[in-house]
Every structure is written in structure tokens, then in C-alpha cells.
Amino acid sequence: MTVRTRFAPSPTGYLHIGGVRTALFNWLFARQRGGQFILRIDDTDAERNIDSALEPILEGLKWLGIDWDEGPGVGGPHAPYYQSQRADRHRAAAARLLASGHAYRDFATPEELDEERKAAQAAGRPFLYSRRFGAFDDATAARFTAEGRASVVRLKMPREGSLVIDDAVRGRVEFAWNREQDHVVQRADGSCLYHLASVVDDHDLEITHVIRAEEHLSNTPRQAYIALSLGYALPAYAHLPLVAEPGSRTKLSKRKLAQYLKNNDFKQVMEHGLKIAERIGLRPEADTFNPVIVDFYREVGYLPWAIDNYLALLGWSYDDKTEYFTRDELVRHFTLERINSSPASFDPKKLWAVQDHYMAARSVDEKLALMLPFLVKARLLADPPPAAAVDTVRQVIEAAGDRLKVAGDILAYADFFLVEEPTMDDAAVAQRLAKPGVRGLLEAFARALETVATFEPAMLEAALKQVVEAAGVKVGDLVHAVRVAVTGKTVGPGLYDCLAILGRERSLARIAAALPLCG
């Protein structure tokens, strides 16, 4: 049997971290078993679909390297891959369910259903629809229609026995049929609901394994009943653990951004991202600028494999020691049996550490390719960038070393090299330049810079130490002041690297311009 898995997002919102984890596990299992991974767009809910959400979903998956063998933009023998374009197949399936007696036309009004529901609640018993407005023959259907009633199609669920599935993650799971409602599968206007459409499409696309989030476990009985009633073989099921909020067992939700920002784990990531967003013209209030949405990490400058590697460990592990995998290693080791059924807590700090690991391993030229687009977006570089400016950025990357955690960090480390005059941070000026005696120290250091033989870090450090010793002050008193004078801020590459990259003329000019700001 050829393994065929699928990821079927709905374009009702942007690509969520939990959805990516589901897509990744489906992709890994298909690749590990030499099968196919299919992308289908479940867009049957026309009222909730967002036109602008589809492209970010497709682009986000591509960015993460989660490629599909069949689906939008790729095609395949089971097209179309948009659920809304398969409506004829869904309606035909509903007709078959009616003809076989596994479904019926129901003419109850919402008020009549609510009356039965309230009666069951008052009696302290589970609500099960009486089917008193169900039409099981043409004559009854005609009589209800003559009364002006509209009908929907409901499943005629069994009232005895149970469904048992062998879930690849949760083991044996049993569902009592008498706890299942007669679910609606076709609306009065003839359109079919998701559960019927999904079962039909999975069958038509020859999906062998349905690997999905835990919240879909409760949908399994009605979907299995539909499949069995239509004569389909059931796929193998694997229900993945929830991707939970940091330190909790509650589902990670993009709708709780206000709460996330109060959480230190998310606050650090979010504040870092906001600084980058401000420089490249992103709108921090946009729906995509949210640390549970994949676009956030792409816009800030995370490495896609860092995201993949981290998400693979949310609910799955190879052993108790291995944290970092190449793509080939992850495909080779991945199995459903190693997935844990307990909720997996999303940890932004751990993701940050994984990102740091992979960024540190990148060469200077690789970092340069990642970071230049951010400088272009921030309009610090022309497009294409001049060769001299590219060389400057390369020097900055070399000097910054492991301090560059994400690609967007280059904005904080390179901006003052690429402008004629740095923007002075008021707080930094007050802290480092406005102190008594700083002006004299800067003037003495400027004189030393004019005569230093070679403008390179070792010689510059020696010159600064001579000035400090002669003045009888601490090294930090002058280092911090010079940094603010030449960069406008308190952070960046090492001071001597900064001076060497700026060169003698620009360094002296910036120190001179900062002197009026001194106390």
C-alpha cells in the first residue's frame, strides 16, 4: 500500500503554528514511508473564508519546505484540490446516504429542535433528537413540504453499539453510538457540510492515513459512519496532541494575543519582533504579526528549518537526548509510534534557542544573503545594493558574530554604518555622554585616533587604553561614551570593530558631532 497523507487547511485565518505542526507530521510520515503528501484546501465555509488568507498559507508551507506532491499549483490525478470545486461529488454522496437509509430528510424548525433540547435538559438526560419531523418516505416528505417546511439531510446514527478505532497515537478508542447526534450533512440550500465533504474527498484522494489534531477526535464517529455507510474503507487515524500555551494544557490560540503579551515567554519574542517590524514598515497591529502565526517568524527573520526542527519535537521525540536533526535525519527517524498523546507546550524560549543554534552554524555569506533583504526593506540599502555597502554589511556580520540571532537583527547592528549621521538615542546620550568629564575624554581619544598607525581593532584598543590610563579613569567610562558617539546607541558589534568598519575619517567626524551633546 502506498501511504497517502493530507493537510487540509481552511482559508478562514492565517497559518497557525499548530496547523504547521500537523502539516509537518503528515509530510514527515509520507516521506518516511515513501508515500505522497497531498495539500487540499477545505473552503466549503464560504462565509468564513478570507480571500487574503489562502496565499499566506501556501507561501508559508513553501517557506518551511513542506512541499506537496498533489494540490494547488502542482495539480495531480485527483484534481480539483479545492473542496468547493467538488460540490457535485458531495451532493451525490448525500443522495446515496438517503437512498440507502443511512440518512433522512428532516423538516424540524430550529425552535422545535430547541424545545426538545430543553426538555431533555430539564429531565436530566442527554439530548437525542426524536426524529419526529424526519421524512423516511416520499409521502411524508411531501406532507411536510406542503406545510411550508424546509428540510436538511441528517445522518440516521445508530442508537446501539459502539465504534472502535485503533488510533496510532491514542491506542484503542471506543465511541458509544447513543452519544452521537443525528448530524446535519446537507443544508436546505443543497450545500454539504464539512464532515461529509471531508470524508468524500479523503476517499476520492485515496488518503490512507488521517493524521490530525486532537480536537478532531470527537468528529471521528460521524465521519467513520459516513464512510462506512458509503462503502468506503476507513483510513488509519492518528490524533496528535494539542499544541498548548506555554506551561499549560490549554490550546495555543491566536485570539489570546493580549494574554500572551503578559507572558514573559511571548513578551520577549514579541518585543524583539516589534523592533524589527518598525524598521521595515510592517504593521504590528496586523493579524499576521502574532507569535502563533507562521508569518510572524518569517517577517522577523527566523530560519525555516529552525521552525520545522522545533515543531517536530512538539509531541514527538527520537530519544531523550537528540534535539537537532537535518531534514534527512528527521525523515528517516520519524514514526507515529513515537508521538506522545499528552499536550505539547509551545515554548518560545526553546524555539529561540533552536533558532540560535542554526543561525550560529550559518556562514558569513549565508547570513549575508538572509540579512540583505531586511536592509533593503528598511531602505538602508538600494535594490540591488552597491558592492561597497554589501562589503560593509559583511564586515558587520563578521564583527557581530553570534549576537545576530535572527536575520532582522542586522537592522540594529548595521543601520548606523549605512547612514551619514547616526540617530542618537536620547536615553543613551543622557546616560553616557552627559556626564562630567566625558567631553575631555572624547577629545583626547580623537587626538589619539588621528595618529594611530593602523586603523584596526588591536591598535584602536591600545590607543583607547592609553587615553584611559593617562586620564586615570575606567576603560568603561570611555568605551561606552565612544560607542554612543559613533553609533548613537548602547548596543552593537564590539567598539573596536565598529571604529575599524567606519574608518578613521567617519569615526572622527562622528565624535566631533557628538561633542556638543556632552556635559
Instruction: Please report, to the nearest 10 degrees, the dihedral formed by the alpha carbons of residues 51, 57, 62, 67 taken in order.
Output: -110
Instruction: Please report, to the nearest 10 degrees, the dihedral formed by the alpha carbons of residues 250, 251, 255, 260 taken in order.
Output: 60
Q: Which residues fall within 8 angstroms of residue 434, CB to CB, at 6 or more apart?
A: 517, 518, 519
* 8-state DSSP, 38: E
* 8-state DSSP, 241: P
- Interatomic CA distance for residues 406 and 359, integer angstroms: 7
- Interatomic CA distance for residues 2 and 208, integer angstroms: 8
Read out DSSP for 115-153?
A: HHHHHHHHHTS------TTEE-SHHHHHHHHHTT---EE
Instruction: Please report, to the nearest 10 degrees, the dihedral formed by the alpha carbons of residues 501, 505, 510, 512 taken in order.
Output: 150
240, containing H or E segment? strand 236-240
Q: Hey, what's the cell of 483?
A: 560607542
Per-residue H/E/C for 12-33: CCCCEHHHHHHHHHHHHHHHHC
Read out DSSP for 407-441?
A: GGGHHHHHGGGSSSSPPPPHHHIIIIISSTTHHHH
Task: Answer yes or no: 474 catalytic.
Answer: no
Q: Give me the catalytic one of 62, 118, 254, 256.
A: 254
Give the residue numbers annotated as catalytic, written as ranges.
254
